[in-house]
Amino acid sequence: MNSLNAMFPLLTLIVGALLVLILEVSIKRENKTYLAFISIIFLMICGFFCVQSWGKDFSYFNNHLYLDNFALFFSIVLIITTILVTLISMKYLSLQNTNVGEYYALLLLALSGMLIMVSSSDLIVIFLGLEVLSMSSYTLAGLKRDDQKSSEAALKYFLLGSFASAFLVYGLALLYGVSNSTSIAVIIDHFKTESSLSFMAFAGLGLVIVGFGFKIAVVPFHMWTPDVYQGAPTPITAFFSIGPKAVGFAVLVRLLYPFWHVAYDSEVIFSLLWIISALTMIIGNLIALRQTNIKRMLAYSSIAHAGYLMVAILSQDTSSLMFYFVVYLFMNIGAFAAVIALGKKDKEYLELDDYAGIGFKYPWIGATFAVFLFSLAGFPPTGGFLAKFYVFSAAVREGLVSLVIIGVLASLVSVYYYLRIIVYMYMREPTHEVDINLENPALFLVLFLCLYGVLQLGIFPGNILLIIKQAVSSIAFL
Amino acid sequence: MAHFLFFLLAIVCIGAVVAMIFSKNQAYNALFIILLFVCLAGLFGLLNAPFIAVIQIIVYAGGIMVLFLFVIMMIDLQEGIPPERKRWTIGLSFLIAGVLIIELLFALKGFLFPAQAATAGSPGSPTDLGRLLFTKYLYPFEITSVLIIVALVGAMILVKKKDSD
């Protein structure tokens, strides 16, 4: 195997994106669905290359590109996310007047940015990957150009994203100044040789964490999330709630796990993250209680979930973090798919009142949505329950009992707003007519796949746990 | 000769900054900054860093200042800051100026009493830089090409006319 082979997943995505761009220009067709199929084919090829490199631990370009199982696991999770998002976008784009073919190319490019980030442990490469991801995300958020909210979302995301990048670059520069290297392993090794963490190193590490804090949307860096999630096209919101978060956490794992073993001074960073995690769980869930717009509510719910994932980071248990992500992928995309299903030409039903009586009028959408909401709230036998259970039990093993108590209480609070939707769907009389466009086979496929994923992970999680175990054991902190 | 050039460039630099501060016309301000950047580039050239000098001109004098000029052209700045906000801005400028003076004092201290020789590498000759970019940093370098494509495509989608209209 040479370095070209190691780059195949990335190259596939970029070639796919360029092909979509060229076809969009050269074939003028009103129906853009064929572009979605092309990008799905490329995504599957990319996934095939990732699966093929499983267990081989490629490392190329002076360790700038490092394909361990951990990177591949996250890559595959992200590829699945993108496939599902592409499927739910197909009908949505023409219904909601967002009919641009470049959409699929930008999705592929955003994914390539994420793959760059997860398969490297060099901060420069991670930063470049982040910029590729961010640039395409800003555009995707603003794609509904007739909609003021969408433009606002794009601008807000752009400004705060640039802000976050600035933090990250500043932190990176300080870390480089301390250790004379941008590789995470060398930086951490340098920390080990010093008797105590210098102020510069501390500030650098802090700024890098702040930069990623914006990307994974933890309190107090979450302010942009609700507006961006509400304004962006709904499939893109689903994408934002999983993709950037997954890569943010993957990078934090690579950065922080070796750092915990630097004996001195890591307590300060640890307690800062502890506070962030507790605040994120509490504030995310409490504000979600007051939301009546479904997309805003799911935005706050995704903030709260970032808090639970932070618990997994603090308890140094990578496998529970990864399991949580797999479950979160299915339940969150499922929930957003159900929200997208409730729409017709130029109209989306996003207010809580619109959901009254949906459960009986559209039993399939209502029932699957209910399952996803139960899973997000963490009821057995869904995957959401097991995911929370693994995270919290790992935290208890590490002695983070007070954090777990906060987490459990916060997720009890969350039950209220998840169940409120179900109550509306099944126990309220509809106040106005809601008619939706049901000719959307791709969307129903996604609903079914996500339902299967959530239940499979909740009842028979064995296979995926085995894969996660292989992935965790392979993390080498190069 | 080098000393003469240094003092010439330094005086023009300071003159450009002073002129920029006291000039009332925003377009002249921008032009004075361009003059400043060109002189700074000359100073870098004197310090044996031709690459940084060129970058200074291309990126700052070329790219960023043109952007500034566009902003000045599109936004009407003639009326100035309203008086109730003026006090606030002046306070903030004093604060930032104070921080800058402290930084300058630190720099002066480092210059007068050098603690250790700065461990600077090669001062960035284009050859060294190019060699590094195509060997050690090949992968990040290639990623920037993806980044540029994304930025271009994104900008074009957001500003192009809609087909349906």
CB < 8 Å to B152, chain A? none
Distance CA A38, CA A58 (A): 28
CB < 8 Å to B162, chain A? 145
Distance CA A298, CA A335 (A): 9
pLDDT confidence band for A43 (50 / 70 / 90) = very high
Q: What is the mean pLDDT of chain B?
A: 83
User: What would the mean pLDDT of A364-388 be, rounded to a whole number?
Assistant: 92
Sign of dihedral through CA atoms A370, A373, A377, A381?
Answer: positive
Number of domains forming the structure of chain A: 1
Residue B98 lies in a domain: no
Say if residues A419 and A373 touch (Cβ distance below 8 Å): yes
CB contact residues (below 8 A), chain A span 319-378, against chain B:
none
Residue B66 lies in a domain: yes
pLDDT tens digit string along A403-445?
999 999 999 999 999 999 999 999 888 888 778 888 888 999 9
**ipTM confidence score:** 0.89
Between A389-403, B19-33, B146-160, the lowest mean confidence (pLDDT) is in B19-33
Residue B116 lies in a domain: no
- Whether pLDDT at A264 is above 70: no
Give the count of beta carbons closer than 10 Å to the beta carbon of residue A269: 18
pLDDT at B62: 82
Residue ranges in A315-400 assigned as alpha helix (H): 318-341, 358-361, 363-377, 383-397
Distance CA A279, CA A274 (A): 9
Residues B3 and B69 in one domain: yes
Q: Residue B128: which domain range?
A: 124-165
Burial class (CB in 10 A: 0-12, 13-18, 19+), A19: middle
Record: contact A60-B139, CB cut-off 8 A? yes
CB < 8 Å to A116, chain B? 143, 146
Q: For B6, what's the count of Cα atoms within 13 Å in the CB-facing half-sphere?
A: 7
Record: contact B150-A143, CB cut-off 8 A? no
The bridge status of strand A343-344 relative to strand A347-348 is antiparallel
The bridge status of strand A58-60 relative to strand A65-67 is antiparallel
Distance CA A196, CA A184 (A): 18
Distance CA A147, CA A230 (A): 11
- The strand pairing partners of B161, in sequence order, are none
Q: Residue A467: which domain range?
A: 3-474
- The strand pairing partners of A65, in sequence order, are A60
State the Cα torsion A65-A67-A72-A73 to the nearest 10°.
-110
Residue B161 lies in a domain: yes
pLDDT tens digit string along A234-243?
999 999 999 9
Looking at chain A, the whole-number percentage of residues with pLDDT higher than 70 is: 99
Of B77, B112, B145, the residue at which a domain comes to its end is B77
Region of residue B113 (phi > 0: left; psi between -120 and 50: alpha; otherwise: beta): beta
The reply to whether A24 touches chain B by the CB within 8 Å rule is no
Record: contact B153-A21, CB cut-off 8 A? yes
The reply to whether A60 touches chain B by the CB within 8 Å rule is yes
Give the count of beta carbons closer than 10 Å to the beta carbon of residue B21: 9
pLDDT tens digit string along B104-130?
998 888 777 765 555 555 556 778 888
Chain A to chain B, count of Cβ pairs less than 8 Å apart? 65
Residue B134 lies in a domain: yes
- Whether pLDDT at B40 is above 50: yes
B136: closest chain A residue by CA? A62
Give the count of beta carbons closer than 10 Å to the beta carbon of residue A316: 17
pLDDT tens digit string along A164-187?
999 999 999 999 988 888 888 888
Please list, in sequence order, all residues whose beta carbon lies within 8 angstroms of the beta carbon of residue A446, skipping any fewer than 6 positions away.
A84, A87, A88, A333, A334, A337
Burial per residue of B51-79, b for 16 or more beta-carbon CB atoms within 10 angstroms, e otherwise: bbbebbbeebbeeebeebbeeeeeeeeee
Closest chain B C-alpha to A264 CA, distance in angstroms = 28
pLDDT at A94: 83
pLDDT at B165: 46
- Whether pLDDT at A80 is above 60: yes
Tokens of B31: 């032009």
Please state the length of chain A: 478
Closest chain A C-alpha to B146 CA, distance in angstroms = 7
Distance CA A230, CA A297 (A): 9
pLDDT at A121: 85
pLDDT confidence band for A388 (50 / 70 / 90) = very high
Say if residues A410 and A307 touch (Cβ distance below 8 Å): yes
Tokens of B48: 């044996």
- Whether pLDDT at A245 is above 80: yes
The reply to whether A460 touches chain B by the CB within 8 Å rule is no
Distance CA B72, CA B28 (A): 11
pLDDT at A295: 92
pLDDT at B91: 86
Nearest to B154 among A99, A113, A139 (CB): A139
pLDDT at A63: 80
Say if residues A227 and A154 touch (Cβ distance below 8 Å): no
CB < 8 Å to B134, chain A? none
Number of domains forming the structure of chain B: 2
User: What would the mean pLDDT of B62-84 be, rounded to a whole number?
Assistant: 76
Cα angle value B144/B146/B147 (rounded, 5°):
60
CB contact residues (below 8 A), chain A span 86-125, against chain B:
99-100, 102, 105-106, 109, 112-113, 116, 122, 124-125
Nearest to A132 among B136, B147, B164 (CB): B147
Distance CA A441, CA A337 (A): 12
Which of B25, B20, B24 is closest to B37 using CA atoms? Answer: B20
Give A129-194 as a DSSP string: HHHHHHHHHHHHHT--TT-HHHHHHHHHHHHHHHHHHHHHHHHHHHHHHHHS--BHHHHHHHHHHS
pLDDT at A345: 81
Closest chain B C-alpha to A39 CA, distance in angstroms = 16
Nearest to B150 among A60, A132, A142 (CB): A132
The reply to whether A415 touches chain B by the CB within 8 Å rule is no
Looking at chain A, the whole-number percentage of residues with pLDDT higher than 90 is: 57
Residue B106 lies in a domain: no
DSSP-derived letter for residue A68 is -
A4: closest chain B residue by CA? B139
pLDDT confidence band for A219 (50 / 70 / 90) = confident
DSSP-derived letter for residue B5 is H
Say if residues A129 and A215 touch (Cβ distance below 8 Å): no
pLDDT tens digit string along A325-354?
999 999 999 999 999 988 888 788 888 888
- Whether a cis peptide bond, with omega within 30° of 0, leads into A381 is yes
